[in-house]
């Protein structure tokens, strides 16, 4: 089978399928190759099913506060397997929606494994047998994603030592778990499993949980997890893991301390990802790689003419919305639509544990290191009327501004629905608005969003309710 298209995309995750739709909207004939499921890891085994599980955990935790809300429960049981089943249905529904979008936009989808065979040519080993050769008149986009990184010398066995994908396949939560990695994935599973009764220990090599977040945010999350009896070992290096029939043993050495052996039913390793760049014909096609990551410029072009790369395989930011944004940039560049390059400092970052964490831009420490005249505005959710009504008023909003012109340099939120509050600040950051302009914008009462305005006022020492 030999077919000609304007654009061929390898990978149908949130980068690949979005690039396909945008290219089709711009008049290109598009073919997309996906070896497993449309939607990639995000829709099938990442962002979406985990958020469904997190919602279940939220409901379970809320029911645990029944006395606060004036009702009582007898015989309540939380069925984790039902929560997992719901998460699969949510994911499946979205995947079917992506397939419908492919048909709507006349995008030709090939199920199989794609490789760059020659300039402008992709060879596909079809899943149902046989081979197809797709010719790209204009360009090829590599959107092959990434996979969980294992501890050195220790492979995932899917039972005792698992990655996030394995965790989403569990029909029952582990009775006890060691989570290696205190980043977003590790903290989200620690939250879910603890809510369902697991004894959880989080091991993080760096000095604090969520180490890429602002230090005050990390401290707030650590306090919240400590109240829930989740043990956190920070500045701790994993020296070895032993899997046995009855569980796992993880040897950990804290900075300046003795070695300790932790025991649990399961160890979840969430220490980052590695690129899916092997066996794609990239180097043979002249594409430059750096430790396996595909090097791209601001318009997603690789070192090889006519070949672009987007998403996790580029190593920029391993987030679904980054992949989608890169996909649109690449499609618009290929179609000659002169795209706006991405500002990675303005891209939102979210962690959906409880309390939720949301951020963008520079932390306070980063802003000071860069020499900015830093002004900080903080406002807690404690006096916020909506937060009090929700029964969830922990956390705060922290805005980092440049004192010379009031530009928003960074935003750091921890607390109720923090991830839903971030878009206003992302828009302000992208539009170059000052914190004074955020403060002057009237926010409805009572809303959680009032905390954003209060934090903006606080930059100038003028918060009303503090």
Both tokens of 455, joined, read 């934090």
| CA–CA dist 40, 320 (Å, integer) | 10
Contact yes or no for 130/1 (Cβ under 8 A)? yes
Q: Which residues pair with 250 in a beta bridge?
A: 241, 262
Q: Which residues pair with 136 in a beta bridge?
A: 5
Marked catalytic residue, from 372, 443, 445, 465: 445
Residue 363 dihedral angles phi and psi, to the nearest 5°: -75, 170
Contact yes or no for 95/40 (Cβ under 8 A)? no
| CA–CA dist 101, 168 (Å, integer) | 26
The per-residue DSSP string of 226-277 comes to HHTT-EEE-SEEEEEEEEETTEEEEEEEETTS-EEEEEESEEEE-S-EEE--
Annotated active-site residue 445? The verdict is yes
| CA–CA dist 112, 129 (Å, integer) | 9
Both tokens of 75, joined, read 């015989």
175 vs 49, 219, 316, CA distance in Å?
21, 27, 36
Residue 378 dihedral angles phi and psi, to the nearest 5°: -120, 145
Q: Which residues pair with 135 in a beta bridge?
A: 4, 121
| CA–CA dist 50, 458 (Å, integer) | 35
**Among 389, 380, 392, which Cα is nearest to 466's?**
380
What SS3 class is residue 343? coil
Contact yes or no for 438/456 (Cβ under 8 A)? yes
Contact yes or no for 454/464 (Cβ under 8 A)? yes
**Among 195, 185, 180, which Cα is nearest to 266's?**
180
Burial classification of residue 61, based on how many CB atoms lie within 10 Å of its CB (0-12 exposed, 13-18 middle, 19 or more buried): middle
| CA–CA dist 253, 239 (Å, integer) | 7
Give the full edge-to-edge strand order of the sheet including 247-254. Answer: 236-244, 247-254, 259-264
Radius of gyration of the chain (CA): 24
Q: Which residues are catalytic?
A: 445
């Amino acid at each position: 089978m030999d077919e000609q298209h304007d654009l061929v995309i390898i990978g149908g995750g949130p980068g690949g399928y979005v690039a396909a739709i945008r290219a089709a909207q711009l008049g290109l004939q598009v073919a997309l190759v996906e070896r497993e499921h449309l939607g990639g890891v995000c829709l099938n085994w990442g962002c979406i099913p985990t958020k469904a599980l997190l919602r279940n955990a939220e409901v379970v935790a809320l029911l645990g506060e029944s006395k606060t809300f004036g009702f009582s429960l007898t015989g309540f049981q939380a069925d984790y397997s039902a929560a997992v089943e719901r998460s699969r249905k949510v994911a499946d529904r979205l995947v079917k929606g992506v397939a419908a979008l492919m048909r709507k936009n006349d995008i030709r989808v090939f199920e199989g494994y794609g490789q760059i065979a020659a300039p402008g040519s992709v060879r596909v080993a079809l899943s149902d047998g046989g081979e197809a050769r797709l010719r790209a008149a204009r360009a090829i986009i590599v959107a092959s994603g990434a996979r969980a990184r294992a501890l050195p010398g220790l492979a995932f066995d899917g039972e005792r030592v698992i990655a996030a994908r394995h965790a989403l396949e569990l029909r029952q939560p582990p009775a006890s778990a060691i989570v290696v990695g205190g980043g977003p994935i590790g903290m989200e599973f620690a939250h879910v499993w603890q809510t369902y009764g697991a004894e959880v220990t989080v091991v993080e090599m760096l000095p604090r949980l969520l180490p890429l977040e602002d230090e005050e945010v990390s401290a707030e999350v650590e306090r919240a997890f400590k109240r829930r009896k989740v043990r956190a070992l920070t500045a701790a290096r994993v020296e070895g893991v032993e899997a046995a029939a009855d569980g796992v043993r993880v040897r950990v050495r804290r900075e300046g301390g003795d070695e300790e052996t932790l025991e649990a039913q399961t160890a979840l390793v969430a220490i980052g990802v590695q690129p899916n760049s092997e066996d794609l014909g990239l180097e043979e096609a002249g594409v430059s790689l750096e430790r396996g990551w595909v090097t791209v410029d601001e318009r997603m072009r690789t070192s090889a003419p006519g070949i672009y790369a987007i998403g996790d395989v580029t190593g920029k930011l391993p987030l679904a919305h980054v992949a989608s944004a890169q996909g649109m940039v690449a499609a618009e560049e290929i179609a000659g639509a002169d795209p706006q390059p991405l500002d990675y400092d303005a891209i939102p970052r979210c962690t959906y544990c409880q309390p939720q964490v949301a951020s963008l831009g520079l932390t306070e420490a980063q802003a000071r290191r860069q020499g900015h005249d830093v002004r900080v505005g903080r406002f807690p959710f404690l006096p916020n009327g909506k937060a009090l009504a929700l029964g969830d008023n922990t956390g705060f909003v922290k805005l980092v501004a440049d004192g010379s012109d009031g530009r928003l340099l960074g935003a750091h939120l921890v607390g109720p629905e923090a991830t839903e509050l971030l878009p206003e600040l992302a828009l302000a950051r992208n539009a170059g608005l000052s914190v004074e302009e955020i403060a002057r914008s009237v926010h409805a009462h009572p809303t959680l969003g009032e905390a954003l305005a209060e934090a903006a006022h606080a930059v100038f020492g003028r918060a009303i309710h503090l």
